[in-house]
């Protein structure tokens, strides 16, 4: 018996060595942790239950029969994060660069299937070079199986991808089909084909950082939802994110103890809006004052900053915040902002997370760049996403709600449940200057008349009361009571039920 146990220990120790000491050292020298060190940080201490430690590849081409490593380049299993079940697969770059063989794919597919059956999130940690080249079509088939599970799990369980090294091929396509992608600055890259292939095919010389580093993907391509300084910070933040999310679409989002009472007014909000309507203010201040303890997990913080998206909690329960940001491009809606917010809204709707929307939007961004870039369809994505969402929706207009953007931003007409406005709200087809120049074009050369017309327009339209008279707003509220109003509103919507016409699925303008 003693020998058998020794043999298990020996085999397990060999598996835990992955690609060996030299490659582990190289991993550390690049500022990266190993797969097992990552598991330790991600999960609650001692909670990891590993599967398939001894799985090996079955390839015999190119001398591969002499290079079998137990585990085959991916550590898989389940554990808990703050007591809640998660499944995970963590690529081991020290074994064939974390590349995917048929056996490696079977390990991933096993945890994907278990996560789906048992209703728990899957976290994939990527540090890998895509399909294992020596395995040919078997590797491609393996990816196909992983991709199919990504698609079937979408909207059923949260899927999170954490990019912690150079990732190519299938190791970027699978993440692309998950709900969120996070990266580590300076050590992680994502590209379909790496710089060498780029040079061969297009003659373009580009560094990995410029082709697919965290900066590119969080500011330009919007592939990644956030980036962190190092592995430890990134994994710790993933624990924080999981705390906001329900385990599946069958469960309600988790609730955590909240210490900030809702009855207490925040007088500072009464002066958040500057007297000059063209002066910006920071909408994040409002979010932080409405969310429990100011705890806000922002999604896509560095992309399309003219709209803010992220998770917070109200009375301990998760909500998704969507808010125009007057500090950037006056909070205008453009293609990027619309796409960013639409995807976030749809995630929240999939997983029963109520939406709280703050509106200060001067309209859609005009110009050829936007029109050629498909603003019509991108803007429609957000309109579509807000309208189809059946989760509780509470909207508060703080200042401008002009034109189509008024409709889009979770207006009453887009089936929002409760629509509030602050007394500073201005709801109109457009701002005074543009409106007067169009409807009183004949007076354009008479400054006195134009000033008079402008004043008349401002008095008539640039307030919340016309919309309130029509019932398009449910109430005009004092800024200081916003948190209380929203919290009580959410309480009233807890048992919301809506019927939707039968359909296989909708056809959101992609």
Tell me the catalytic residues. Answer: 169-170, 404-405
Stretch of 130-138, 235-243, 385-393, 428-436 lying at the interface with ligand HXC (CB under 6 A):
130-138
Q: Which is nearer to ligand HXC, 18 or 489 (CB)?
A: 18
In sequence order, what are the residues at sequence separation of 6 or more whose Cβ sits closer than 8 angstroms to the Cβ of residue 478? Answer: 265, 270, 422, 423
Q: Which is nearer to ligand HXC, 79 or 142 (CB)?
A: 142
Closest distance between ligand HXC and the C-beta of residue 77, in Å? 23
142 binds ligand HXC (CB under 6 A): no
Alpha carbon distance 425, 436 (integer Å):
19
Strand partners, 393: 355
146 binds ligand HXC (CB under 6 A): no
Stretch of 41-49, 128-136, 272-280, 471-479 lying at the interface with ligand HXC (CB under 6 A):
128-136
Q: Which of 48, 170, 61 is nearest to 105 (CA)?
A: 170
- Of 365-384, which residues contact ligand HXC (CB under 6 A)? none
Q: What is the 3-state secondary structure (H, E, C) of 270-281?
A: HHCCCCCCCCCC
Q: How many helices (H) and strands (E) does the chain have?
A: 19, 17
Q: Which is nearer to ligand HXC, 22 or 117 (CB)?
A: 22
- Of 390-419, which residues contact ligand HXC (CB under 6 A)? none
27 binds ligand HXC (CB under 6 A): no
Stretch of 91-99, 292-300, 397-405, 480-488 lying at the interface with ligand HXC (CB under 6 A):
91-99
Q: What count of other Cβ atoms lies within 10 Å of the Cβ of residue 130?
A: 26
Candidates 64, 109, 114, 133; binder of ligand HXC (CB under 6 A) is 133
Q: State which H helix or E strand residue 13 sits in.
A: helix 2-16
97 binds ligand HXC (CB under 6 A): yes
Q: What angle do CA 229, 227, 289 make, to 5 degrees?
A: 100
Strand partners, 323: 308, 358
Q: Which of 194, 164, 135, 165 is nearest to 143 (CA)?
A: 135
Closest distance between ligand HXC and the C-beta of residue 152, in Å? 17
Candidates 35, 120, 131, 183; binder of ligand HXC (CB under 6 A) is 131
Binding mask 160-189 for ligand HXC (x = CB under 6 A): ------x-xxx--x----------------
Residue 10, SS3? helix
Q: Tell me the two tokens of residue 342.
A: 């639409």
Residues 137, 204 contacting (CB under 8 angstroms)? no
130 binds ligand HXC (CB under 6 A): yes
Candidates 27, 59, 99, 463; binder of ligand HXC (CB under 6 A) is 99
Closest distance between ligand HXC and the C-beta of residue 422, in Å? 48
Q: Which of 123, 78, 76, 74 is nearest to 100 (CA)?
A: 74
Closest distance between ligand HXC and the C-beta of residue 48, in Å? 25
Residues 424, 270 contacting (CB under 8 angstroms)? no
Candidates 18, 77, 121, 194; binder of ligand HXC (CB under 6 A) is 194
Q: Which is nearer to ligand HXC, 49 or 196 (CB)?
A: 196
In sequence order, what are the residues at sequence separation of 6 or more whose Cβ sits closer than 8 angstroms to the Cβ of residue 380? Answer: 338, 509
Alpha carbon distance 55, 141 (integer Å):
18
Residues interacting with ligand HXC, by CB under 6 A? 23, 96-97, 99, 129-133, 140, 143, 166, 168-170, 173, 194
């Amino acid at each position: 018996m003693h020998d058998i146990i020794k043999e298990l220990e020996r085999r397990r120790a060999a598996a835990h060595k992955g690609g060996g000491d030299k490659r582990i050292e190289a991993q550390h020298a690049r500022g990266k942790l190993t797969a097992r060190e990552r598991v330790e940080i991600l999960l609650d201490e001692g909670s990891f239950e590993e599967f398939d430690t001894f799985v090996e590849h079955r390839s015999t081409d190119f001398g591969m029969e002499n290079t079998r490593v137990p585990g085959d380049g991916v550590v898989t299993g389940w554990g808990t994060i703050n007591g809640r079940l998660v499944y995970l697969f963590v690529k081991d770059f020290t074994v064939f660069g974390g590349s995917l063989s048929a056996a490696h794919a079977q390990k991933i597919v096993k945890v994907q299937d278990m996560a789906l059956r048992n209703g728990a999130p899957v976290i994939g940690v990527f540090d890998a070079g895509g399909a294992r080249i020596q395995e040919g079509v078997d590797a491609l088939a393996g990816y196909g199986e992983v991709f199919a599970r990504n698609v079937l799990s979408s909207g059923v369980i949260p899927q999170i991808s954490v990019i912690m090294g150079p990732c190519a091929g299938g190791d970027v396509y699978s993440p692309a089909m998950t709900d969120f992608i996070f990266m580590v600055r300076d050590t992680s890259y994502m590209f379909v084909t790496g710089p060498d292939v780029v040079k061969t095919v297009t003659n373009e010389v580009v560094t990995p950082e410029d082709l697919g580093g965290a900066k590119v993907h969080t500011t330009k391509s919007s592939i990644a939802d956030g980036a962190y300084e190092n592995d430890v910070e990134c994994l710790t933040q993933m624990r924080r994110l999981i705390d906001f999310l329900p385990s599946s679409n069958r469960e309600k989002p988790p609730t955590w103890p909240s210490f900030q009472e809702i009855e207490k007014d925040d007088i500072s909000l009464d002066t958040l809006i500057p007297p000059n309507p063209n002066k910006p203010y920071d909408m994040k201040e409002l979010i932080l004052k409405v969310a429990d303890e100011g705890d806000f997990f922002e999604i896509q913080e560095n992309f399309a900053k003219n709209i803010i998206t992220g998770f917070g909690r109200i009375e301990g329960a998760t909500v998704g915040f969507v808010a125009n940001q007057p500090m950037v491009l006056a909070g205008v809606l453009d293609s990027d902002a619309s796409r960013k917010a639409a995807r976030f809204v749809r995630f929240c709707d999939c997983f029963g997370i109520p939406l709280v929307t703050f509106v200060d939007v001067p309209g859609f961004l005009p110009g050829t760049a936007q029109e050629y870039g498909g603003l019509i369809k991108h803007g429609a994505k957000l309109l579509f996403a807000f309208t189809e969402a059946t989760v509780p929706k509470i909207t508060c207009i703080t200042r401008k709600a002009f034109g189509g953007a008024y409709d889009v931003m979770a207006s009453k007409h887009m089936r929002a449940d409760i629509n509030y406005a602050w007394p500073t709200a201005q709801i109109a087809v457009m701002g005074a200057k543009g409106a007067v120049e169009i409807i009183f074009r004949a007076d354009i050369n008479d400054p006195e008349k134009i000033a008079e017309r402008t004043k008349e327009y401002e008095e008539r339209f640039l307030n919340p009361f016309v919309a309130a008279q029509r019932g398009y707003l449910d109430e005009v509220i004092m800024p200081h009571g916003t948190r209380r109003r929203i919290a009580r509103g959410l309480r009233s919507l807890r048992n919301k039920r809506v019927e939707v016409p039968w359909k296989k699925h909708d056809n959101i303008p992609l």
